[in-house]
Amino acid sequence: MTAETLSISGLAKPASRIALGTWAIGGSMWGGPDDENAARTIDKALDLGINVIDTAPVYGFGHSEDVIGRVLEGKRDRVILATKVGLNWQDGKVFRDSRPARIAQEVEDSLRRLRTDHIDLYQVHWPDPKTPIEETARALEKLVKAGKVRALGVSNFSPEQMNEFAQFAPLATIQPPYNLFERDIEKDVLPYAVKNNLAVLAYGPLCRGLLSGRMTAERQFEGDDLRRTDPKFQQPRFGQYLKAVEDLKAIANKHNKSMLALAIRWVLDKGPTIALWGARKPEQISGIDDAFGWKLDEADLKAIDAILAQDITSPVGPEFMAPPARS
């Protein structure tokens, strides 16, 4: 893999600009776990030069972390291990909970499942409107001082919330949704990150597979697949997004690249970004090399914007994924 790396404040080694996202490895909302393929996927990611693995306790209610911990035994020093904190669950229902007591419990649970004595990057998964940000940040700063955590990040926070957090603990990263179809962070979060030297871990760069270039209108989503409730995958919007993908392939073809490589390259060209490439099977991270060693020019970017404006008449964001506050 052609090396493209990004420094993250507080971490000793540079991060690969593609990270392995492991929500699907947890199984929940992705059709159930497949641990054998998950292990092969993690090993393949390491072989391809990916050194960032991003997970969360809520991915399979601990299952993703547990699988990663088992696979990384003997390989832990090769990886920047990123996980999250601040979501709780009861009877399978997820809600936001960033109280200091919850943080103290979660970090120990994550360390145990991940089979490690420290977490490289610990991120607040969603802002908790019922817990003051100061309390959350101070609790996390204690973990840094205790050596259990190396660097802190937040996910799905606004610039105002990040400003408040940074008053009480050093902030190294922000993890927002970001892809060709979901670009709200360009208004405020991305400029804030550039101004404040934060690395942006962009989740969903392939927009739940929509930008892989492999999806068709006949595709059915079954069981607990989250795309059953994603407005992008409901007609008539689904057809609009698929049409955009077909038209975007012309730009990918111009560079002799796949649609998937185009989607990742677009994210990487947008700033201090790391693309979280989600996968649960090793073949799903094939083609990573194609995302490196080239750039989109100004004409490409204008053509992309024109296609999106023409094909997608009723765009929608990723708001459907937001978990509720605790009751």
DSSP letter string over 109-137? HHHHHHT-S-EEEEEE-S--TTS-HHHHH
* CA 71 – CA 43 distance, rounded (Å): 8
Contact between residue 73 and residue 113 where contact means Cβ atoms under 8 Å apart: no
What are all long-range contacts of 103-106, with beta carbons under 8 Å and residues at least 24 apart? 103/136, 103/139, 103/140, 103/143, 104/139, 106/57
Mapping DSSP to helix (H, G, I), strand (E, B) and coil, where does residue 194 land?
helix
Looking from the CA of 67 toward its CB, the CA atoms found within 13 Å total 29
Contact between residue 100 and residue 57 where contact means Cβ atoms under 8 Å apart: no
* CA 193 – CA 200 distance, rounded (Å): 7
Mapping DSSP to helix (H, G, I), strand (E, B) and coil, where does residue 320 land?
helix
* CA 174 – CA 157 distance, rounded (Å): 8
The CB density around residue 42, as the number of other CB atoms within 10 Å, is 25
Selected catalytic residue, list 59, 178, 192, 241: 59
Active-site residue flag, 241: no
Catalytic residue numbers read 59
